[in-house]
Amino acid sequence: MRLGEKITVKLLLACAGISILGIVLIAVFIFKEGWSIIGKTGIIDFLFGDQWAPTNGIYGIFPMILGSIYVTIGALIIGVPIGVGCAIYLAEIAPSRLSAIIKLGVEILAGIPSVIYGLYGMTTIVPIIRNIFNNQGFSILAGSIVLGIMILPTIINISKDSIEAVPKEYKEGSLALGSSHWQAIIKVILPAARSGIVASIMLGMGRAVGETMAVIMITGNSTLIPESILSPVRTLTGNIGIEMGYASGEHQKALFATGIVLFVFIMILNLMAKLMPNKVGE
């Protein structure tokens, strides 16, 4: 190997090492800052306590955990059918010119700042929910709708690439055996591409769980356990984003401890997105 190639390899290795080092440093930092309050409160009381009252030294994040789960599930219910359906249309049905226009729209959708989604939710979705259900409008439903829109680019792009990666011989063989185009899509192409589709859903879920600004603006930020999809709710990210600016002492450490829970949750989702395709494809 030439000297220039050796230097290039070393530089690339250093770049990879820096990326891993960044993750390690972040993990060490948040665990160092937040673990003490978990130890003091007790991991069970911290995770499953239903009261968040920092001024009284009570730190229970169960309402925020439920808030993150409910909003994320709602986003997936809305975003997955639309995203996968759009991916199928772009990959298998749409004319090339129309497909290019739709793909451009999806790319623009991916580039819109989250605060713009939040403003749209506040000025459009929340008033609609308020008028229909005669409530405050800030709710799990509002957050689910906005996050469902936000995760569309992730699901559409990855699912589309997975569908297009299926060998054409699969489709041609199915058509040669007498199946219709739609039957070939449902019974041959989608099962062959399901690993990538599942990965897109997992990554979309990670995007929904990690979103902060938009959910702060439209979910109501209540620290009570939600009773329905029309209840206001606060997510884990929203809890950190709202209170970190003025928190200090144990309160600040409790927010770092919330970050630990969120960090572990996101890491699990990312690992599932990496490992599940191999399992599904077997």
pLDDT, mean of each 10-residue run, the chain (282 residues): 80 89 89 90 90 90 94 95 94 88 90 92 94 91 94 93 89 85 89 89 89 91 90 93 89 92 86 61 41
Number of residues written out for the chain: 282
* Alpha helix (H) residue ranges in the chain: 3-41, 43-48, 62-88, 96-111, 114-120, 126-133, 140-150, 152-164, 168-176, 181-184, 190-210, 213-218, 236-243, 250-280
Q: What residue segments make up the domains of the chain, in order of their start?
A: 47-280
Give Cβ neighbours of residue 241 (< 8 Å, ≥ 6 apart): 212, 213, 216
Instruction: Record the tokens describing residue 237, joined without a space.
Output: 């990210």
| Distance from chain centroid for Cα 273 | 12
CATH hierarchy code of domain 47-280: 1.10.3720.10
46 vs 53: CA distance, rounded Å: 12
Q: pTM of this prediction? A: 0.88
pLDDT value for 268: 84
pLDDT value for 154: 92
